[in-house]
Amino acid sequence: MVVTKLPPVIVAMNNNDGVLLFVMEGLLSRLVFESLLADGTRFNGIVLPGRSAITQQLNTQNSLDVLNTDSIESMARFHQIPLFYVSGKDPQQYQQAITQSQPDIVIVACFPYRLPAVVFQHPAKGAYNVHPSLLPAYRGPMPLFWQFYYGDINSGISIHEIDEGLDTGNIVLQQQVTLSDGISAQQATKLLARAAVDQLRLLLASVSSNRLPAIAQNEQASSYYSWPGLAQFTIEGDWQVRRAFNFIHGTMHWQQAYKIISNNKETEIRKAIDYSMGSCRHADFSPTDSQYLIQFSDGCLLASA
């Protein structure tokens, strides 16, 4: 994968622009918020989805997520940062958040809804999305899942201008992150969050004086993937074994069984233990009674149910 070459960033420090942050209750969002909060970022407001991911109840200004005191919602209340709740299809709620918060800049870090024009046309210093892939590859709502699915170890963070499309805006900053063998989604998300914070610090320091130069995405190199389904948990034996091993490790938190179809045999597993190149007959390990040796195109997977 080719990383977009961007012009050097000239950093102007002592930024005090007011940020309106669009997030959801998830690890990447929370780590980004916590880090920027620790940096002393001035938040004019936090925008959250209008329904709790835990209780599925409507969120309001008077709600409190008592099931998760480390949530973004609870932290924002503790630090007296205004909270706004929006649904996916009510532009008036977005307009209210913009009007009341009057942000200099909008930052989005994992938000489940497409944003109306009022969000990205109003802020004087821009509206930017943090996307966990090297755009234009892996546009869409679950980029990390699809990078595991296709065995792509060259992940990364892209910060791009928000426009009417889905992850299609001009890129202003990128940082590559390499995913090691056997990395979990949580571990990968922490690495990506660290890269995101590094790039956001550059963004916030730079836009205090000037808008960052931006490069249009290469549409010919773009890819988009929607929500995965059960079909993605069926793995064919013609996969490379390293791809299968890393996909299973990266998606085990979905708590789905994996159906492996190899040599006209179907095996259901839940855990990948190790892999070895070459034939299973010459593998570097021996299975126990509760384990399986599964042949892939170039190697052998040791797995368990």
Residue-wise pLDDT for 88-109, tens only, equals: 778 899 999 999 999 999 999 9
How would residue 212 be classed by pLDDT, with cut points 50, 70 and 90?
Answer: confident
Q: Using CB atoms within 10 A of its CB, is residue 259 exposed (0-12), middle (13-18) or buried (19+)?
A: middle
Angle formed at CA 197 by CA 136 and CA 177, multiple of 5 degrees: 50
- 234-236 and 171-178 beta bridge pairing: unpaired
Domains of the chain: 19-221 (3.40.50.170), 230-304 (no CATH)
pLDDT band at 126 (very low <50, low <70, confident <90, very high): very high
* pLDDT (tens digit per residue) in 252-279: 999 999 999 999 999 999 999 999 999 9
Strands 271-277 and 299-304: antiparallel
- How far, in Å, are 9, 34, 62, 269 from residue 290 at the CA level? 55, 42, 51, 10
**What residues contact residue 95 under an 8 Å CB cut-off, 6+ apart?**
118
Q: Of the candidates 164, 168, 195, which has an alpha carbon nearest to the alpha carbon of residue 179?
A: 195
Give the C-alpha separation, 147 to 180, whole Å: 12
Sequence-ordered alpha helix ranges (H) in 184-273: 185-207, 241-251
Residue corresponding to tokens 């979990």: 184
Cis, bond preceding 141 (omega within 30 deg of 0): no
